[in-house]
A and B are shown apart, each in its own frame.
Chain A
């Protein structure tokens, strides 16, 4: 059982590229998490552990190129190593969709990145789909539908 609390994608320079909250939190709580976690994680050395304790929960993070994927997990419910696998699968899926994904792809296609994430993780933070092919298939179907809508719009 996985119960993610949030996922934050931040660049090495501390710029937030994506945020997704899976538990109800006030805006100030969210801001506090981002403000506290970002410098803490960016300051960590490469050989340090990818799991840290923060407030009443644990935080799992992993760096890919110049981006840090930060995930808040529920203690005693989530498996931290499984969370690392979820992050990796998310990156792999984006990599396949964009073809060697980079920070620029995420900045300019953030809606697609959210679509991929929404296919993988449900709104309560539990894993919906771990199969990369399935996730990509659903996202491609969405793209096709969107394109058909555009065609209909042009014709109408």
Chain B
């Protein structure tokens, strides 16, 4: 059975019990979701100029990450792991060693699942995060990324390569994820197309031809579709 047949449309947002406030803030900033006590939020929409996709938000917290991870890597949790599009883990990088939780996770996680480790400790410098990214972004099939994000500096800007940092980078990771269930946006909203030139006479001739064709159509639905398509095409020249 092909692994990619799983409906990978769930994002898990995970944090330590003591980081619930940061988790709530991240959910609000990233997914525009004001959490209450819900642990599963169904049918959320992730949208950009190219596509929109529907996903479920899974929200969880732990008292001990090794204990939580021990449960998550068990065979009983395999169906859950297989439907995860991504895991966003909020941690304090000063307290947790990434090796401890990433190593067991990578062996069992679906290859198309992204892992974003969000550091919420303001004392951790970006250089430290860059070092972790250099160490972990090579040789794994899963997308693994470390992000520095704090409530006071939700968006930090760009690094020396012009790469987005903070919340914007999490946004970009979700945008570029290989969603299996995405629906393409209408072409007009995707690329800002340049203005086209057409002589006025030609435009009027085309409009007249379109009018005649519309009138000659027996099926009203088909005629409406034609009229809409025509209007979209001709509007590019106006």
Flag if A107 contacts B176 (CB, 8 Å): yes
Interface stretch (choices A40-48, A74-82, A127-135): A40-48
Query: For residues 160 through 201 of chain B, which have their beta carbon under 8 Å from a beta carbon of chain A?
Result: 160-164, 172, 175-176, 190-194, 196-197
Interface residues on chain A, size class: 20 to 34
Cβ contact within 8 Å between A45 and B196: no
> In the bound complex, do residue B163 and residue A66 qualify as a contact, i.e. CB atoms below 8 Å apart?
yes
Report the nearest B residue to A103, measured CB to CB. B176
Q: Which of B49, B162, B236 contacts A65 (CB 8 A)?
A: B162
Interface string of A80-111 (1 = CB under 8 A from B): 00000000000000000011001110011100
Surface stretch bound by A, among B6-14, B56-64, B67-75, B226-234: B226-234
> Counting CB contacts under 8 A, is A155 at the interface?
yes
Contact B210 A64 (CB under 8 A): no
How distant is the Cα of A155 from the Cα of B234 in the complex, in angstroms? Answer: 11
Query: Residue B143 contacts which of A13, A45, A98, A104 (CB distance < 8 angstroms)?
Result: A13
State how many angstroms separate the Cβ of A142 from the closest Cβ of chain B: 11
Residues in B neighbouring A99, C-beta threshold 8 A: 192
Q: Is the interface of A mostly helix, strand, loop or mixed?
A: helix
B216 within 8 A of A: no
Is B17's CB within 8 Å of the partner chain A?
no
Check if A143 is an interface residue, CB within 8 A of chain B.
yes
How far does the alpha carbon of A26 sit from the alpha carbon of B49 in the complex, in Å?
37
Residues of B with Cβ closer than 8 Å to A? 48-51, 133-134, 137-139, 143-145, 158, 160-164, 172, 175-176, 190-194, 196-197, 206, 209-210, 213, 226, 229-230, 233-234, 236
Instruction: Known pairs A42-B137, A42-B138, A155-B230; list 17 more (Cβ under 8 Å).
Output: A12-B133, A12-B137, A14-B137, A46-B160, A63-B161, A65-B161, A66-B163, A104-B49, A104-B172, A107-B50, A143-B194, A144-B194, A147-B193, A150-B233, A154-B226, A154-B229, A155-B206
